[in-house]
């Protein structure tokens, strides 16, 4: 079995990073707690190991 393509791995990471960036922007602009909870549930589907603190910390650190 061959090893996975590096291009696909990099592409997957870029797509995930972009999705998280857009979800973070929506989370910051959300007005209700219910809306924020729904957005964070989407974040958990994109990146299951990410906690709320890590999700918000990435915005503060500029990543």
pLDDT tops 60 at residue 63: no
Distance (Å) of CA 51 to CA 2, 5, 7, 23: 33, 29, 27, 14
pLDDT band, residue 22 (cuts 50/70/90) = very high
d(C-alpha 49, C-alpha 1), whole Å:
28
What are the tens digits of pLDDT across the range 25-62?
999 999 999 999 999 999 999 999 999 999 988 866 65
């Amino acid at each position: 079995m061959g090893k996975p393509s590096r291009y696909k791995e990099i592409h997957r990471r870029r797509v995930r990073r972009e999705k998280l960036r857009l979800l973070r922007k929506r989370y910051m602009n959300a007005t209700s707690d219910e809306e924020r909870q729904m957005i964070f549930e989407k974040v958990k589907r994109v990146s299951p190991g990410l906690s709320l603190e890590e999700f918000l910390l990435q915005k503060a650190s500029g990543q």
